[in-house]
Amino acid sequence: MIEIQDLCSKLCNCAQDVTYLGFLTGDEQQSHDLWKDGEQQPPSQTTSLISLESLLMGQDGLRLSRFERFKLASILASTLLQLQTTPWLVGDLEKRKIMFYRQGSKVLIDRPYMNFSFRSTKAKTCEDSTVPTAPRSNLIAVKTSLSNLGILLLELCYWQTIESIELRKGYLEPNGQPNQFTNYMAAQEWAQLVDEEEPELAPVIRSCCSYSFPVKADWSDKRLVQAAYASIVEPLEKIINKWPT
């Protein structure tokens, strides 16, 4: 039993025939074993990567079934709540950064990946001398992350990007360009139409797009996580569980 002090070094230097790499220590002194399982990695000769954005834009004519879209919605919502306060979710969920392995026309939606790079704490760059950007307040961070999740759920519901919908044009600048509120305002209006398309999904999306939880907007507050789970993740899981097998 070896505690991993540097995950990147461990992954880079482990021997090919080693399956158990050691353990990581998490919060509340919890230990997480790290195994290398070759069977979990799809063979590179027959697979490629594709982003959720490319899927929504119709690349190669690929399209997820209604069940797959609900299942992916559940995975993304659960991921947000689990990883929001960790380094594993840098910034917000973005469709261009959500990646899947595909095998021909089959997309492995059960295992989405986040595409981003960790900045080395040992590297010295010119960014070190720049003035740091002011962090977002807890309220803005929570509302932004939930709103972005709501937009993803809308896009999965209608199977099109928010950038392609007609009503978004009403929230563009006079020069035709979006501003920082364009997608947020368009999502508010778009969410009102979900009752006609997917009635079961409508209250979930509204919970994301309109913050109405009676608790402090702070992801480190477990009450918020519990409230978000009850309003977003749990209803999605119930829909999936009653799906005909």
Six token digits for residue 35? 């195994």
Average pLDDT, the chain: 83
What pLDDT, in 10s, does the model give residues 34-43? 776 554 444 4
Return the pLDDT at 112. 87
Q: How many helices (H) and strands (E) does the chain have?
A: 9, 6
pLDDT of 54 above 60: yes
Question: How much is the average pLDDT of 36-51?
Answer: 62
Per-residue CA distances from 153 to 12, 73, 136 (Å): 36, 6, 24
Return the pLDDT at 2. 78
At 194, is the pLDDT very low, low, confident or very high (cuts 50, 70, 90)?
very high
Return the pLDDT at 8. 82
Return the pLDDT at 55. 95
Distance CA(189)–CA(212), nearest Å, equals 17
Give the global pTM: 0.78
At 132, is the pLDDT very low, low, confident or very high (cuts 50, 70, 90)?
very low
pLDDT of 168 above 50: yes
Return the pLDDT at 193. 94
At 76, is the pLDDT very low, low, confident or very high (cuts 50, 70, 90)?
very high
Between 64 and 31, whose confidence is greater?
64
Return the pLDDT at 207. 93
Q: Is 189 exposed, middle or buried (0-12, 13-18, 19+ CB in 10 A)?
A: middle
Question: How much is the average pLDDT of 165-177?
Answer: 95
Degrees to nearest 5, angle at CA 38 with 34 and 42:
120
At 133, is the pLDDT very low, low, confident or very high (cuts 50, 70, 90)?
very low
Question: How much is the average pLDDT of 12-34?
Answer: 72
At 91, is the pLDDT very low, low, confident or very high (cuts 50, 70, 90)?
low
Domain parsing of the chain, residue ranges: 1-41, 72-92+136-241
What pLDDT, in 10s, does the model give residues 95-120? 998 999 888 888 988 888 887 665 65
